[in-house]
Amino acid sequence: MDTKLRKSKPFLAWGAFFLGLSLLLALSFLGVMNLQNMIDYRHDIGVFLVGDYKESHYFKENIATQLQIVTRQFEMYLSKNTFNTKSQIEKLKGEGDNLLYWSYNSLAGIKLTNMSQEPIFNDNKYTLPEGYDYYLYFDGQKLWACLDNKTIDVYDYQDGYRGIIDEEFFSDEKDYAPLSQNQILLAVKRTVEPIPNATSQLYQNYKRFLAVRWLLYGMLFLALLSLVLLVIAIVKRESKRAFDRKIAQILSHLWLEVKIILYPFAGFAVFAAIKVIAPRLSNELVEAATALGVLWLIYILIIDLFYNRRQFFTHNFPNWLIERYRLLEKGRPFKKALLMRVMTLLLVEIALMVLAVILPLVFRHTPVLALIIFCLFVALGVYLLYRYLKQYNQNLDHMERIVDHIERMREGDWSSELTLPDDSDFYSTAQSLNLIQEGIARATEERLKSERMKVELITNVSHDLKTPLTSIISYVELLASEENLPDQARDYVSILSQKSEKLKSLIQDIFDLSKATSGAIELDKEILDISKLVRQTLADMEEEAEKTGLSFKTRFPEIPVHIIGDGRKLYRVFQNLMTNIFKYSLEGSRVYIDVTHDSYDVTVTLKNIANYEMNFLETEVTERFVRGDKSRSTEGSGLGLAIAKSYVEAMGGSLRVRADGDLFKVEITFPIHWQKEALE
């Protein structure tokens, strides 16, 4: 589709809406203004559209007037008022051959006529001359009318003459004087024509009738056209709305002060333009056109309010000045910008106070103007102070939102976004914080994904290694049970058995660790006496402890201290920690095991002196496959502390490792369970 045509669609749709509604409103205005005439002539609408002129009220009123003229002629003759009689005769003569009249007063024997021969009546019916199609006849008692050889019921209020001709013609008194002595005949030409050098009222009314007919045709056409245009506008309402938005966009560039002056001025301008452009228009048309112009101004005002909303009021001269000032603040350091804002406000307020005092003194001879100027500057000063306080309060609110958002980020909420208005002083800060949050969230997600993949890989590999390892262990056991094996082969089988068992233990550790870190670990929670569990672990490993030559110093609380946990998993934790102590403690040194508690937590502390230089980070030693002994002078998989930490955290506790010189310390903390009832 052509670009120019596509761009013109909104204008065409809006033009259809404008013309259609304008025509409909104009017709409605004219209808309301002529409501009384429409009521009076409501029965003639069909006549005006398709009927005969002689069926209309226009004609009936005119023929009634002619009937009254003829009647008054007799009254004037009888009163010998010849001057008025001649004037009435002149009126009849002005109709020319459009009107044939014949009248006879039997009391005075007077006859008035412009007919060349006497009319002949047959049962009060009259045969019209050629070229005439209507007559009205009064026989002294009753009225008769005929159009195109069809008798008219003159006594019918709706279509007849009773509501038009004086009631005396319809009197039931047979001897009503003076009309009972009169006979009157009026005949009208089929085609009423203008009379040279005279004024024919019949012809003038006929022209008015035709004018009304064409006016009705025009109004019907315009009404139909308006409906068609409105239907087009409804069908193309999206295009029409697009043009409404365009109008609103144009108006959005005007200040509120300009609109306050512009809209009333435009209303007066419309009225003045109509009077100047069409000075001969009737008052009704001028009023209708003015009302239509005012309505469209109101419509444009409504569009402006609907689409621009708050901007309609906020786009004003003071705000424009503030926006220009905000541009000056851009690029300046935040602190300097705020200080400059305060100083500028103080200077402007002082300037306004000075002007509010000086200018009214200059215009003191016009008190009203001086008062207006004073109020204007005071109002401007109050408004600027209000804007500053509002912005200050907004800044406090936005600072609070930033602090709250940082707190949520600290607590692990990386999904929520901080949104601030574009005009906020902290908008760029919020955007930067969102970018940082998005980057951290993405990195965390990638790390978690990588961890999950590692756990899945370890789990799968551990599971796949178990099957061949089980076969190896079985065959090693079969070899060990063979008789007559050489001593050297039996030593090899013994080594294979030890290494396969160690490999089996390692695979099981990896499998357990992967389950713990993935959250798939199953815990059989119960109420445990942690001191008792530590003692039991030490007792079970007493034989191994004696082989190391280490000296153990223990301290336990006098009362049982209970926690909620999985006894087997926690036993495994203490077992792993004791195994590490056996492997990495300095020979002949002391090992300290303390169980302490307060009102809320219980802590198990294990301390030993390392037999190697501890050059590791305290946070990394609990990672998988990380060993404190970098030289690997002892056997170990680097999983003991990782498994212990995973189990402890799964049970709701915490495990911390600390190194101070050669002192290695592990702290395990659990919340105390003071209730001894069953688990909830």
**Same domain, residue pair 272 and 382:** no
The CA distance from 135 to 154, in Å, is 12
Are 134 and 154 contacting, i.e. CB atoms less than 8 angstroms apart?
Answer: no
| pLDDT for res 623 | 54
Print the domain residue range for 128: 41-199
User: What letter represents residue 592's amino acid?
Assistant: Y
| pLDDT for res 94 | 81
Q: Taking Cα atoms as reference points, which of 190, 206, 204, 105 lies closest to residue 146?
A: 190
Give Cα separations from 214 to 30, 217, 222, 454, 514 (angstroms): 15, 5, 12, 93, 97
Q: In what order do the strands lie in the sheet with 110-113?
A: 110-113, 99-105, 182-189, 132-138, 143-147, 150-152
The three-state secondary structure class of 310 is helix
| DSSP secondary structure, 523-558, as one string | --EEEEEHHHHHHHHHHHTHHHHHHHT-EEEEE--S
| pLDDT for res 209 | 83
**Same domain, residue pair 514 and 532:** no
| DSSP secondary structure, 220-255, as one string | HHHHHHHHHHHHHHHHTHHHHHHHHHHHHHHHTTS-
CATH number of the domain encompassing residue 475: 1.10.287.130
| pLDDT for res 172 | 59
The CA distance from 606 to 658, in Å, is 10
Give Cα separations from 616 to 450, 613, 620, 643, 661 (angstroms): 24, 9, 7, 19, 11
Number of other residues whose CB lies within 10 A of the CB of residue 554 = 13
Q: Taking Cα atoms as reference points, which of 494, 492, 497 lies closest to residue 473?
A: 497
Q: Taking Cα atoms as reference points, which of 168, 111, 120 lies closest to residue 143?
A: 168
Rg of the chain over Cα atoms, rounded to whole angstroms, equals 57
**Same domain, residue pair 11 and 121:** no
| DSSP secondary structure, 614-669, as one string | --S-TTTTTSTT--S-TT--S---S-HHHHHHHHHHHTT-EEEEEEETTEEEEEEE
498 occurs within a structural domain: yes
Are 100 and 133 contacting, i.e. CB atoms less than 8 angstroms apart?
Answer: no
The count of structural domains within the chain is 5
Number of other residues whose CB lies within 10 A of the CB of residue 179 = 19
Number of H helices, E strands in the chain: 19, 15
The CA distance from 473 to 500, in Å, is 6
Residue for token pair 């069953």: 678
Q: Taking Cα atoms as reference points, which of 534, 554, 516, 568 lies closest to residue 668?
A: 534
The CA distance from 401 to 424, in Å, is 12
Last residue of a domain, one of 520, 543, 574: 520
User: How does pLDDT run across 549-594, given as a tens digit for each residue?
Assistant: 888 899 999 888 899 988 888 888 888 888 888 888 888 889 999 9
**Same domain, residue pair 18 and 64:** no
**Same domain, residue pair 485 and 541:** no
Q: Quick one: 50 exposed, middle or buried, by C-beta within 10 A (0-12, 13-18, 19+)?
A: exposed
Expressed in percent and rounded to 5, the helix, strand and coil fractions of the chain are: 60, 15, 25
Mode of pairing for the β-strands spanning 601-609 and 663-671? antiparallel
The CA distance from 137 to 123, in Å, is 12
In the 8-state DSSP scheme, what is residue 2?
-
**Same domain, residue pair 131 and 175:** yes
| pLDDT for res 675 | 60
**Same domain, residue pair 538 and 619:** yes
Last residue of a domain, one of 314, 341, 357: 314
**Same domain, residue pair 510 and 526:** no
Point out the residues of the chain with pLDDT beneath 50: 1, 5, 174-177, 624-634, 636, 676-680
627 occurs within a structural domain: yes
- How far is Cα of residue 63 from the mean position of the Cα atoms in its chain? 67
**Same domain, residue pair 486 and 593:** no
The pTM of the full predicted model, rounded to 2 decimals, is: 0.48
547 occurs within a structural domain: yes
**Same domain, residue pair 183 and 248:** no
The CA distance from 114 to 118, in Å, is 10
**Same domain, residue pair 532 and 579:** yes
Last residue of a domain, one of 499, 520, 541: 520
The three-state secondary structure class of 438 is helix
The CA distance from 172 to 142, in Å, is 9
State both tokens at 397: 């609110």
120 occurs within a structural domain: yes
408 occurs within a structural domain: no
CATH number of the domain encompassing residue 611: 3.30.565.10
User: What letter represents residue 281's amino acid?
Assistant: L
272 occurs within a structural domain: yes
| pLDDT for res 632 | 41
Residues facing 99 on adjacent strands: 188
**Same domain, residue pair 588 and 666:** yes
Are 477 and 494 contacting, i.e. CB atoms less than 8 angstroms apart?
Answer: no
| pLDDT for res 290 | 78
| pLDDT for res 205 | 84
The CA distance from 306 to 316, in Å, is 17
Q: Quick one: 478 exposed, middle or buried, by C-beta within 10 A (0-12, 13-18, 19+)?
A: exposed
419 occurs within a structural domain: no
344 occurs within a structural domain: yes
In the 8-state DSSP scheme, what is residue 153?
-
| pLDDT for res 669 | 92
